[in-house]
Amino acid sequence: MADIDKQIEFAKWSLERNIGWISQAEVKVAATMTLNIALISSLAVAYTTVAERSHWAIGFSCASGLLLIVGMGWAAKALFPDTKNNEKSFVFFGKIPHKRDLVQFQAEFRNATDDDFLSDVTHQLFRNAEIATAKHFAVKRGIAFTLLGGAVWIPAVISLIKH
């Protein structure tokens, strides 16, 4: 792939795919947070409506609550990726206005070569791949803790209702 226009197009396509993966992580965060909030809320209602609680009910409730809170923490972590990048960019929204105004940006954009654009897009492709990887790692952990918390939630609620 020696033609620089083809390289730029392929890099842009790959960058768009990475941005799609980042968006998918955000959707999973929303679902995970919603499930966690529902489970914690229903556990709190069940826990507070029972006057006497068995040791099992207390243990299961605490374990479930803790696992669900950890799940929420991991899911929330996915919302705050490290976006530090000290370079100027034509692509990355946080760096377009970085240390320049609109007139400077327009001049730099007009004067940029194909090599400048390819370098910028591939740098952003790499950076967005790092962000997508970090987000999916955090979401995966959030989902795992949510599932564990949900598994412990079942005996917690049963032990509260039966008591």
Report residue 90: phi and psi, to 5°.
-95, -10
- The whole domain housing 120 covers 4-162
Judged against a pLDDT cut of 80, whether residue 154 lies above it is answered with yes
Distance between start and end Cα atoms, the chain: 70
The pLDDT of residue 86 is 58
The pLDDT of residue 152 is 97
Nearest Cα neighbor of 78 from 128, 133, 147 is 133
Instruction: Describe the crossing of helices 114-162 and 55-77 by its angle, rounded to 10 degrees.
Output: 170
The string over 110-127, giving b where at least 16 C-beta atoms fall within 10 Å of a residue's C-beta and e elsewhere, is: eeeeeeebbbbbbbbbeb
For the segment 149-158, the average pLDDT, to the nearest whole number, is 96
Question: pLDDT digits over 73-105, tens only?
Answer: 999 999 987 767 656 676 666 666 666 788 887
Number of domains in the chain: 1
**Which range is least confidently modeled, 41-50, 74-83, 152-161?**
74-83
Please give the distance of CA 83 from its chain centroid, rounded to a whole number: 12
Judged against a pLDDT cut of 60, whether residue 1 lies above it is answered with no
